[in-house]
Amino acid sequence: MKDQLEALKSEALASVQEASDLKTLQDLRVKYLGKKGPITEVLRGMGKLSPEERPVIGQLANDIRNAIQAAIEDKQRKLEEEAIQKRLASETIDVTLPGRVMPKANIHPLTAIVEEIEDLFIGMGFSVEEGPEVETDYYNFEALNLPKDHPARDMQDSFYITEDLLLRTQTSPVQARSMEKHRGQGPVKIICPGKVYRRDNDDATHSHQFMQIEGLYVDKNVRLSDLKGVLTVFAKKMFGEDRDIRFRPSFFPFTEPSVEMDISCFRCKGDGCSLCKHTGWIEILGSGMVHPNVLEMSGFDPKVYTGFAFGMGPERIAMLKYGIDDIRHYYTNDRRFLSQFKQV
């Protein structure tokens, strides 16, 4: 009987070893370890054995059963592992195939520039004001020290609707309106972005519609040196710390003194090239101390208050910053143009 059991063991272990799939293994488990299996059979026939032999054979039968059991489990783990490997191999994909397109567009480059400038000035305590695009002659010109017949005011440059109403030629009227709202009490510290309109034929560098951002700071004791300080901070953050900045006197009817700010050329870094007309400098904005007439007309006492104002063109800034060569691109809205500004 002992021999019988040993033979059974080697037969079973050999079969398990040969089993090549989980189904065969399951069949072997039933065949050898099931209720009708040979080991159960042996144990059932133990009655015929002598009392001395019984525990020996019983022990042996159990050992064999455990050995077969262990072998099957071991084999099962191996087969399962193989199956998983096989499945993973069959599931392998080409990860270099393109990903699914998720819709994702971007804001207009002009919006990006305007928001960047807004954020820089908000960080310096300015808030953002807006105003109407159809303006009265008074706010667009007169309140800005441009009375009728002023040489700097050319009828040919503006889109009039009636004698008194026109498309604003600058965002400066927002300054006058904001100052009026403050009723002579400072501080007024605002920037005003918006669309403006001038009678220009559209070409690579001119547009009858364009954007402007103006800034205004009116308070007691505002100095030209403050204008220089604030605009220097702005220029360095906007265009890079390594930029040189130059201030030079200029003329605007609504400021006195007036200041033009240049920054060292983007392309040649000041050595002179075609972009900067070989001067090494690029004009970036106009500014100055608010003209006393403007303060007075908007209800501020020029003896008590001073202020500075500045204005710049986002189209030009974006053109310089990104190297855009034609102002019309902004208004053509070609997707191949717009989609280049994903990062902004």
Partner 1 sequence: MKLSFKWLSEYVDLSGITPEELAERITKAGIEVEHITDLSRGIKNVVVGLVKTCEPHPDSDHLHLCQVDLGDEVVQIVCGAPNVAAGQKVAVAKVGAVLPGDFKIKKAKLRGQVSEGMICSLQELGVDGHLVPKEYADGIYVLDEEAVVGQDALPYMNLDDVILELDILPNSAHCMNMIGAAYEVAAILDRVIKLPAPSVKEIEQKASDKIAVQIDAKDGVPFYGARVIENVTIAPSPRWLQNRLIAVGIRPINNIVDITNYVLMEYGQPLHAFDYDRFGSDQVLVRRARDGEKITTLDDQERTLSAEDLVITNGERPMAIAGVMGGAESEVTNETKTVLLEAALFDGRSIRRTSSRLGLRTDASSRFEKGIDPNRVMEAADRAAQLMCELASGTVLQGIVQSGEAQVPPRAISMPWAKINAVLGTSLSKDTILSVFRRLRFQATIDGDALTVSVPSRRPDVAIPEDLVEEVGRMIGYDHIPATLPEGATEGKLTDYQKKHRMVERYMTGSGLYQAVTYSLTSEDKVGAVSLIEGEGFRPIKLSMPMSEERAVLRQSLLPELLDVVKYHLNRHMKDVALFEMGKVFLTKEEKLSQQPVETERLAGVLTGYFRPDDWHHDGLKVDFFAVKGLLEGLMALLGLSDRISFVPSTRKGLHPGRTADILLDDAVIGFLGQIHPVLQKTLELNDTYAFEVDLRTLLQSEVPALRYRSLPRFPAVTRDIALVVDQDVSAGELTEVIQKSGAPLLKEVRLFDVYTGERLESGKKSLAFSLTYLDPERTLTDEEVTKVHNQVLNELETQLGAVLRS
List binders of Zn ion among 271-300 (CB under 5 A). 273, 275-276
Q: Shortest distance, CB of residue 144 to partner 1, whole angstroms?
A: 14
Nearer to Zn ion, 165 or 324 (CB): 324
Q: Scanning the structure block, which residue is given the tokens 């392309």?
A: 267
Tokens encoding 47:
């009655």
CB of 169 to partner 1, least distance (A): 13
Least CB distance to partner 1 at residue 307 (A): 10
Please, what is the minimum distance in Å from the beta carbon of residue 323 to partner 1?
Answer: 19
Peptide bond into 257 cis (omega under 30): yes
Tell me whether residue 70 or residue 204 sits nearer to partner 1 (CB atom): 204
As measured in angstroms, the least distance from the Cβ of 86 to partner 1 is 24
Angle at 78 between CA 74 and CA 80, to 5 degrees: 115
Judged by beta carbon, residue 86 or residue 223, the one nearer partner 1 is: 223
- 116 contact choice in partner 1, Zn ion, none (CB below 5 to 8 Å, kind-dependent): none
Convert the chain into a string of H (helix), E (strand) and C (coil).
CHHHHHHHHHHHHHHHHHCCCHHHHHHHHHHHHCCCCHHHHHHHHHHHCCCCHHHHHHHHHHHHHHHHHHHHHHHHHHHHHHHHHHHHHHHCCCCCCCCCCCCCCCCCHHHHHHHHHHHHHHCCCCEECCCCCEEEHHHHCHHHCCCCCCCCCCHHHCCECCCCEEECCCCHHHHHHHHHHCCCCCCEEEEEEEEEECCCCCCCCCCCEEEEEEEEEEECCCCHHHHHHHHHHHHHHHHCCCCCEEEEEEEECCEEEEEEEEEECCCCCCCCCCCCCCCCEEEEEEEEEECHHHHHHCCCCCCCCEEEEEEECHHHHHHHHHCCCCCCHHHHCCHHHHHHHCCC
The residue number with the shortest CB distance to Zn ion is 265
Nearer to partner 1, 37 or 286 (CB): 286
CB of 299 to partner 1, least distance (A): 18
Q: Which of Zn ion, partner 1, none does residue 276 bind to, with CB < 5 to 8 Å depending on kind? A: Zn ion
Q: Is 268 in the site for Zn ion (CB under 5 A)?
A: yes
- Residue 217's binding partner among partner 1, Zn ion, none (Cβ under 5 to 8 angstroms by kind) is partner 1
Per the structure block, which two tokens stand in for 249?
């006197």
What gap in Å lies between CA 169 and CA 339, rounded to an integer? 30
With contacts defined by CB under 5 A, name the span among 31-39, 247-255, 270-278, 283-291 that binds Zn ion: 270-278
| Residue 40: contacted member of partner 1, Zn ion, none (CB under 5 to 8 Å, by partner type) | none
Find the binder of Zn ion among 174, 231, 263, 265 (CB under 5 A).
265
Q: Please say whether the beta carbons of 147 and 193 come within 8 A.
A: no
Is the CB of 224 or the CB of 275 nearer to Zn ion? Answer: 275
Measured distance CA(20)–CA(110) in Å, rounded: 69
**225 is in the binding site of which of partner 1, Zn ion, none (Cβ under 5 to 8 A by kind)?**
partner 1
Cβ proximity to partner 1, 58 vs 131, nearer residue: 131
Tell me how far, at minimum, the Cβ of 319 lies from Zn ion, in Å.
14
Mark the segment that binds Zn ion (CB under 5 A) among 69-77, 79-87, 263-271, 323-331: 263-271
- Interacting partner of 123 out of partner 1, Zn ion, none (Cβ under 5 to 8 A depending on kind): partner 1
Output the smallest distance, CB 69 to partner 1, in A.
43
User: What, of Zn ion, partner 1, none, does residue 273 touch, CB below 5 to 8 Å by kind?
Assistant: Zn ion
Per partner kind, with CB cut-offs from 5 to 8 A, the member of partner 1, Zn ion, none near residue 165 is partner 1
Interface residues toward Zn ion, by CB under 5 A: 265, 267-268, 273, 275-276
